[in-house]
A = this chain, B = another copy of it.
Amino acid sequence: MNGADSLCDTLLANNVDVCFANPGTSEMHFVAALDKKPQMRCILGLFEGVVTGAADGYGRMADKPAATLLHLGPGLANGLANLHNARRAHTPMINIVGEHASYHIQYDAPLTSDIESLARPMSDWLHRIESAANVSPAAAAAIEAANQNPGGISTLILPADAAWTEAPEAIQHAKPIPATALDTQALQAASTALGNGRKTVILLSGKALRSGALETASRIAAKTGARLLAQQANSRIERGAGRVMIDRVPFNVDLAVKALEGTEQLILVGSRVPVAFFGYPNKPSVLIPENCEVIALTQPGNDLPQALHELADAVGADRASPITTAERNATTLPTGSLNAASVIQAIGVLSPENAIICDESVSSGRDSFKSTFGSAPHDFLQITGGAIGIGIPLATGASVACPDRKVILMQADGSGMYTPQALWTQAREQLDVVTIIFANRSYAILHNELKMVGAGEPGHNARRMLDLDHPAIDWVHMAQAAGVEAARASTLDSFIDILRSAIARKGPFLIEALI
């Protein structure tokens, strides 16, 4: 057994059995090792941003890490933007980055680069394997780190000679990392705050947004009068009809300040103090009122649903009823013109039970969250780090994790063009994903931002940088290029027809909605 075999066996022994990959020469021994193990599912992405984005979607839905296989510094670099999103989502993930044979690095061959420097900003844990004997212990440590609460990005640099050298047979098992106990002072502080009659927001994120934890939180709110809110960006929310209805902190700075106005106490559960996505002249960076007291109920390492249980006990809310359950919304389909709102409304009505709704609709879908409160129960996955190009890969990985669930992706056209290669992976793996392109043919969000800068009407150069027309992107051709069936809708009726049939069938389908 060589180091590559040792790595593959360690992954499998620790329940990591999906590898999203784009290998190169320096990873050939690992490819050979994977080839001997049919129990490892190897999924090719035709660009590394697909690989890391799919591993993110997989990790969010499977609650366990996938491995990625990336080719040296440049291959890692191509995957960094979606690693950035995954790190912000606390998704568990094990990146295997191939590297030159250790003795070869000194010669600065063309593909040589400082992999650590590239990896560090988007990794929670980073290690360069020293030798074949180090492979299994290092891989087990990477898995332990990724599986901590909340999850994290582990990056393992694998020199080619560590892969091809004879390794010990012993395979290391990752130690399960138990959640750390909730700090009793924090529990006391939160419990006291909830009883003092001041205006309190409980801000939730991470696994506090799964349906069970949300019910607990909702009982606390019912008992104490506190308001529940979710962070602006979250890894995964279990929501829809019959589940607890929770809104998010708005993206827009002014709306966010308004939403948090008057808040005297903020209790953080897996979340952080809300800050503006960008700094703007004469607008605040921190979105809560200046005198708002912040109480962090949880710290990294805590079990969030358990923390909410303890808080519910402490405030005597364990038997209160959740008050904010969403009702199934009207099943009346929208009429009128085809636009972002009517597309979202149609999705809200037609999305089936237990769907996974992925959202990279950016400006077009800013209101989609509200209009799907009462959709059939679903999981909601969103962009977490602001690095566009996550949507198609994220939906791909979510579908790999949950092959029996329909995945519906709301995708803006500008960000969709970052990683369209993921459509090919959907076609190859025959994943059950419906991609809906909001084709407004512009970086609409930037047009808004340019207005906010006070630059007046955009001129030639600004339009050349913010508009996506001339030529318009033909998304039907794009999907067909990748082997995915597709159709274009230019009226609301045709959109509804196409969406209905896309949902009724199995397998990937793309709808270009000319909004």
Query: How far is A36 from B462 in the complex, measured between Cα atoms in Å?
Result: 9
CB under 8 Å from chain B, chain A span 234-271: none
Query: How far is A22 from B385 in the complex, measured between Cα atoms in Å?
Result: 18
User: Could you tell me if A28 and B424 are in contact, using CB atoms closer than 8 angstroms?
Assistant: no
Query: How far is A108 from B464 in the complex, measured between Cα atoms in Å?
Result: 31
- Cβ-defined partner of A446 (8 Å) among B25, B120, B281: B25
User: Could you tell me if B285 and A35 are in contact, using CB atoms closer than 8 angstroms?
Assistant: no
Residue in B closest to A460 when the chains form the complex, CB atoms: B38
A189 adjacent to chain B (CB < 8 Å): no
Nearest CB in chain B: distance from A174 CB, A: 23
Query: How far is A376 from B240 in the complex, measured between Cα atoms in Å?
Result: 66
Tell me which residues across on chain B come within 8 A of A414, comparing CB atoms. 46
Query: How far is A414 from B110 in the complex, measured between Cα atoms in Å?
Result: 19
With contacts A34-B462, A42-B461, A104-B276 taken as known, whether A78 is within 8 angstroms of B477 at the C-beta atoms is: no
Query: How far is A492 from B118 in the complex, measured between Cα atoms in Å?
Result: 44
With contacts A81-B78, A445-B25, A466-B31 taken as known, whether A275 is within 8 angstroms of B40 at the C-beta atoms is: no
- Cβ-defined partner of A473 (8 Å) among B69, B446, B481: B481
A13 adjacent to chain B (CB < 8 Å): no
A114 adjacent to chain B (CB < 8 Å): yes
Number of interface residues of A (CB under 8 A): 105
Tell me which residues across on chain B come within 8 A of A281, comparing CB atoms. 161, 164
Query: How far is A476 from B69 in the complex, measured between Cα atoms in Å?
Result: 30
User: Could you tell me if A427 and B471 are in contact, using CB atoms closer than 8 angstroms?
Assistant: yes
Tell me which residues across on chain B come within 8 A of A122, comparing CB atoms. 77, 113
Tell me which residues across on chain B come within 8 A of A23, comparing CB atoms. 446, 465-466
- Cβ-defined partner of A35 (8 Å) among B278, B384, B386, B458: B458
User: Could you tell me if A74 and B78 are in contact, using CB atoms closer than 8 angstroms?
Assistant: no
A455 adjacent to chain B (CB < 8 Å): yes
Nearest CB in chain B: distance from A258 CB, A: 19
User: Could you tell me if B453 and A32 are in contact, using CB atoms closer than 8 angstroms?
Assistant: yes
Tell me which residues across on chain B come within 8 A of A22, comparing CB atoms. 465
Nearest CB in chain B: distance from A137 CB, A: 23
With contacts A78-B418, A277-B110, A386-B110 taken as known, whether A480 is within 8 angstroms of B470 at the C-beta atoms is: no
**Interface bits A23-48 vs B (CB < 8 Å: 1, else 0):** 11110110110111110101110110
- Of the candidates A277, A278, A473, the one having the most CB atoms from chain B within 10 angstroms of its own CB is A278
A474 adjacent to chain B (CB < 8 Å): yes
With contacts A117-B121, A118-B118 taken as known, whether A462 is within 8 angstroms of B161 at the C-beta atoms is: no
User: Could you tell me if A107 and B275 are in contact, using CB atoms closer than 8 angstroms?
Assistant: yes
- Cβ-defined partner of A461 (8 Å) among B38, B110, B446: B38
Query: How far is A22 from B465 in the complex, measured between Cα atoms in Å?
Result: 7
User: Could you tell me if B121 and A121 are in contact, using CB atoms closer than 8 angstroms?
Assistant: no
Tell me which residues across on chain B come within 8 A of A386, comparing CB atoms. 74, 110-111
A315 adjacent to chain B (CB < 8 Å): no
CB under 8 Å from chain B, chain A span 432-479: 445-446, 449-450, 452-453, 455, 458-462, 464-466, 468, 470-478
A21 adjacent to chain B (CB < 8 Å): yes
Residue in B closest to A428 when the chains form the complex, CB atoms: B470
**Interface bits A1-37 vs B (CB < 8 Å: 1, else 0):** 0000000000000000000011111101101101111
User: Could you tell me if B160 and A278 are in contact, using CB atoms closer than 8 angstroms?
Assistant: yes
- Cβ-defined partner of A481 (8 Å) among B421, B455, B478: B478
User: Could you tell me if B104 and A285 are in contact, using CB atoms closer than 8 angstroms?
Assistant: yes
User: Could you tell me if B78 and A49 are in contact, using CB atoms closer than 8 angstroms?
Assistant: yes
Tell me which residues across on chain B come within 8 A of A225, comparing CB atoms. none
Residue in B closest to A416 when the chains form the complex, CB atoms: B46
With contacts A46-B468, A477-B481 taken as known, whether A277 is within 8 angstroms of B424 at the C-beta atoms is: no
A84 adjacent to chain B (CB < 8 Å): yes
With contacts A32-B462, A35-B461, A110-B233 taken as known, whether A480 is within 8 angstroms of B473 at the C-beta atoms is: no
Query: How far is A445 from B25 in the complex, measured between Cα atoms in Å?
Result: 8
Residue in B closest to A49 when the chains form the complex, CB atoms: B78
**Interface bits A475-503 vs B (CB < 8 Å: 1, else 0):** 11110111100000000000000000000
Query: How far is A25 from B421 in the complex, measured between Cα atoms in Å?
Result: 25
Q: Given A104-B275, A117-B118, 10 other A-B contacts at CB below 8 A?
A: A28-B446, A74-B385, A75-B81, A100-B278, A104-B278, A109-B278, A110-B384, A117-B120, A477-B477, A477-B481
A514 adjacent to chain B (CB < 8 Å): no
User: Could you tell me if A472 and B483 are in contact, using CB atoms closer than 8 angstroms?
Assistant: yes
